[in-house]
Amino acid sequence: MERNRTPVVSGWFTGTEEDGDFRLLGTRCSACAAVFFPREDAYCRNPHCPGGGELAQTPLSPRGRVWSYTDGRYRPPAPYVSDPDAPWEPYTLIAVELEAEGMVVLGQGAPGVTVADLAVGMEVEVIGGVLNEDAGTVWTTWRFRPVEPAGVTA
Partner 1 sequence: MSADIAVLGAGMHPWGKWGRSFVEYGRAAAKTALADAGLEWTDVRSVVGADTVRSGYPGYVAGATFAQALGWQGARVTSVYAACASGAQAIGAARAQILAGLAEVVLVVGADAAPKGFFAPAGGERPDDPDWLRFRVLGATNPAYFALYARRRMALYGDALEDFAEVKVKNAAAGALNPYARYRKTVTAQEVASSAVVADPLRLLDICATSDGGAALVLTSMEFARSHGVADPVRIRAVSTVTPTYPRTLLDLPDIATDAVTASAPAGGPFRASIARAAYEEAGLGPEDLSLAEVYDLSTALELQWYEDIGLCGEGEGAKLVREGATALGGRIPVNTSGGLASFGEAVPAQAIAQVCELTWQLRGRAGERQVPGARAGITANQGLFGHGSAVVAVR
One of 127, 131, 147, 150 touching partner 1 (CB under 8 A): 131
Q: What's the CA gap between 100 and 67, in Å, rounded?
A: 14
Q: Total residues at the site for partner 1 (CB under 8 A)?
A: 51
Amino acid at 121: G
One of 30, 41, 43, 76 touching partner 1 (CB under 8 A): 76
- Contact flag: residue 154 with partner 1 (CB under 8 A): no
- Contact flag: residue 56 with partner 1 (CB under 8 A): no
Give the residue among 96, 97, 75 at the shortest CA–CA distance from 84: 75
One of 3, 6, 38, 99 touching partner 1 (CB under 8 A): 38
Q: How far is the CB of 80 from partner 1 (least distance, A)?
A: 4
Q: 99-105, long-range: CB within 8 Å, 24+ apart, which pairs? A: 99/61, 99/63, 99/64, 99/65, 100/60, 100/61, 101/26, 101/35, 101/37, 101/60, 101/61, 103/35, 103/37, 104/67, 105/24, 105/37, 105/60, 105/64
- Contact flag: residue 104 with partner 1 (CB under 8 A): yes
Q: How far is the CB of 3 from partner 1 (least distance, A)?
A: 19
- Contact flag: residue 29 with Zn ion (CB under 5 A): yes
Give the residue among 114, 100, 109 at the shortest CA–CA distance from 144: 109
Interface residue list for partner 1 (CB under 8 A): 8-9, 26, 28-29, 32-38, 45-49, 67-74, 76-82, 91, 93, 95, 98, 100-108, 115, 119-121, 131, 141
Interface residue list for Zn ion (CB under 5 A): 29, 31-32, 34, 44, 46, 49
